Amino acid sequence: MADTLTLQLTTTPSLRAPVLLAAFAGWGDGALAGSGAIQHLLNTYETQRLGGFDPDDIYDYTSVRPIAVRKETGERELIWPALDLHACPLPDGQHDLLLLMGPEPSLRWRSAAAALVETVRGLGAVGVIVLGSYWDRVTHLGRPLLTGRATEPIAIKRLQALDIPESGYQGPTGFSSALLDACARARLLGIGLSARAPHYAQNMTHPPLSYGLLEAVQRLAGLTLNLEALQRAAEQYERLLTERAQQEPRLWQYIQQRAAELGQAPARHDFGGGLWTAIAAGAPPGTEAPSPPSGPPQLPTPAEAVSAVEEFLRRASRGQ
């Protein structure tokens, strides 16, 4: 008998050609930028939980453990890991959202991915965008750098128009890839977006990366999202992290050098309608050339750069 799963729905609302946004804490979202993006939407809009998987079906509790919480009464409660689906109606535009967030499943990936695709298609979904993040030799300055992948040529062109290069990664992968594979098999448009997180800034949240992911989602899907609070948090993050990094001259020199090499400068583009509007109209997306990087300053030696990063992380862990 085939190993099948069901995502149990408690209600089936009427949504306008929804787009599923998903993030899975774990392998594919190491810096939690994708999870942070979806949490921002859950905090900003009036959403409705539609249902989820039985956690016993998709989690190995030795790797994704429940959390024990002691209540004010002295009683203890176990909070079990959950992968829940929410409806997120938007006030404007042609699309609503479906939001899916939780720890990455550790069991039955193919069955869980197939069940997700079947469920969201039943709710009228026109596409899936998976959000994630990974550590890389990038900086916290200027525009966040993203990579992407897509299941359809028109979506690949759209990513190129947004100056989002296709990921060239090959190797062990996560549940995000299983979900995108299930989308391709079901002929449902699927896109993966990953933010590149600065490797010297671990053990903290990254609002600029969450903001960058949602900005890309807006342009891909033709949405208008309320990102004001996230933008303020991103600006504060960059200011505070810059002030901290400047206290380590070698680290600050390394950050400036990498930012110049990567062209991490603020950039705002307006690509008009969304991807699914373009598909319906049969019109290819436009293209725009990225801004050239500025000239690099003097680079510290590799040993100096590594030493500076290690010292920064040691001080950060001690709260200095």
Euclidean distance between the first and the last CA atom of the chain, given in angstroms as a whole number: 57
> What tokens does 31 get?
């810096």
Q: Residue 20: pLDDT band by 50, 70, 90 thresholds?
A: very high
CB 174 within 8 A of CB 26: yes
Q: Residue 282: pLDDT band by 50, 70, 90 thresholds?
A: very low
Range 40-48 average pLDDT: 97
Range 277-300 average pLDDT: 43
- 273 pLDDT exceeds 90? no
pLDDT tens track for 151-207: 999 999 999 999 999 988 888 999 999 999 999 999 999 999 999 999 999 988 999
- 80 pLDDT exceeds 60? yes
Q: Residue 312: pLDDT band by 50, 70, 90 thresholds?
A: low
- 104 pLDDT exceeds 90? yes
- 274 pLDDT exceeds 80? no
Range 130-138 average pLDDT: 96
Check residue 203 and give its pLDDT.
87
Measure the CA dihedral 83/114/154/221, to 10°: -30
Range 134-162 average pLDDT: 94
Q: Residue 121: pLDDT band by 50, 70, 90 thresholds?
A: very high
* Sequence spans of domains, the chain: 13-49+83-317
**Between vectors from CA 9 to CA 5 and to CA 10, what angle results, nearest 5°?**
145
- 315 pLDDT exceeds 70? no
Question: How far is it, in rounded angstroms, from Cα 211 to Cα 215?
Answer: 6
**Between vectors from CA 47 to CA 44 and to CA 51, what angle results, nearest 5°?**
140
Range 48-73 average pLDDT: 94
Strand, coil or helix: 103: strand
Q: Residue 92: pLDDT band by 50, 70, 90 thresholds?
A: confident
- 319 pLDDT exceeds 90? no
Fold held by 13-49+83-317:
Rossmann fold (3.40.50)
Question: How far is it, in rounded angstroms, from Cα 88 to Cα 157?
Answer: 27
The label of the residue with tokens 């709260």 reads 319
pLDDT tens track for 249-262: 999 999 999 999 99
Question: How far is it, in rounded angstroms, from Cα 128 to Cα 301?
Answer: 43
Q: Residue 303: pLDDT band by 50, 70, 90 thresholds?
A: low
| CB neighbour class for 56 (10 Å; exposed up to 12, middle 13-18, buried from 19) | exposed
Task: Write b or e for each residue in 10-49: b if 16 or more Cβ atoms lie within 10 A of its Cβ, otherwise e.
Answer: eeeeebebbbbbbbbbbebbbbbbbbbbbbbbeeebebee
| DSSP secondary structure, 188-221, as one string | --EEEEEEEEETT--SS--HHHHHHHHHHHHHHH
Check residue 4 and give its pLDDT.
84
Range 270-274 average pLDDT: 47
Q: Residue 60: pLDDT band by 50, 70, 90 thresholds?
A: very high
Range 115-123 average pLDDT: 97
Check residue 307 and give its pLDDT.
55
Out of 97-111, 169-183, 270-284, pick the least confident: 270-284
Check residue 293 and give its pLDDT.
37
Check residue 141 and give its pLDDT.
94
Range 143-150 average pLDDT: 95
Mean pLDDT of the chain: 86
Task: Write b or e for each residue in 252-263: b if 16 or more Cβ atoms lie within 10 A of its Cβ, otherwise e.
Answer: bbbbbbbbbebb
> What tokens does 261 get?
């090499």
- Single-letter residue type at 285: P
Check residue 277 and give its pLDDT.
57
Check residue 288 and give its pLDDT.
38
